Amino acid sequence: MRKFGVSFNRITHVFISHLHGDHFFGLVGLLSTMHLMGRVKAIHIYGPVGLKEIIQMQLEVAKGKLAYDLIFREIEPEETSVLFEDDKVSVACFPLVHKIPTSGFRIEEKERERTLLAEKARVDGVKLEYFHRLKKGEDIEEDGTTISHLDYTKAAEPPKSYAYCSDTALSDKTVAAVAGVNFLYHEATFIEALRDRAKATKHSTARDAAEVAKRAKVGKLLMGHLSARYDSGKQHLEESKEVFLNSECVEDGQVIEVI
């Protein structure tokens, strides 16, 4: 995060998919670093049953005390529910199929207010106090005249959505859970030559990830979590594009605009 210029203080919520080490071992180090940097704002942590005890034990054994609160919410293995919601986005979890309980996450923007055509409204003498109602899609009745919101606003951009599937085998449940998202991140640990290995470890191949993307009718597939045995994602990309053309292998630090 430091390398790519991402501020630690921007983090307010952390979502942990499962308790395999490569997905949570770094968490206590991150929390401790935030403490050393003077953080005082609480952090919400969402993860599997047992994560809270692990983090608390690590801090206690190290005699570490954070200057801010940790607020835990434990996710039940088969739970599909909204974990977090504010006026802009919601984050829901859903079960994946792995060797231990694992959750995927779906992040969705809320429907936004319509965009006010402010200059047109001012020129036409629309009162300022009507602006917020027009943006909400309301029509205004004034002196027997209707001021239509369609005349003074335009529809906002459609809400965007993103789904994150960490370690998982191919699953119909996953297809249903990520249906229609703009962008899907899906692990693609192996290529087809190691399908037996994928089955044994309950991981996905690039073709599996592409199948999910195709069947779920997502906008774009982002593949990661490639096995270290591969020098690049070239073979993964070749296999995935045979099934789902709009595929990409992603790298640390890459910035992708969800459109």
Residues annotated as catalytic are: 22
Cα–Cα dist 198/193, whole Å: 10
CA distances to 16, 102, 208, 243 from 191, rounded to whole Å, are 25, 22, 9, 13
Enter the tokens of residue 248: 């990409």
Distance from CA of residue 21 to its chain's centroid?
20
Q: Which of 237, 233, 232, 258 is nearest to 247 (CA)?
A: 237
Cα–Cα dist 233/230, whole Å: 7
Cα–Cα dist 61/165, whole Å: 32
The three-point CA angle 61-46-35 to 5° equals: 45
Class of residue 80 by CB neighbours under 10 A (exposed 0-12, middle 13-18, buried 19+) = middle
Q: Please answer whether residues 114 and 149 qualify as being in contact, where contact means their C-beta atoms are separated by less than 8 angstroms.
A: yes
3-state secondary structure of 70: strand
Instruction: Return the residue matching tokens 């006026």.
Output: 87
Cα–Cα dist 33/213, whole Å: 37
- What's the DSSP call for residue 190? B
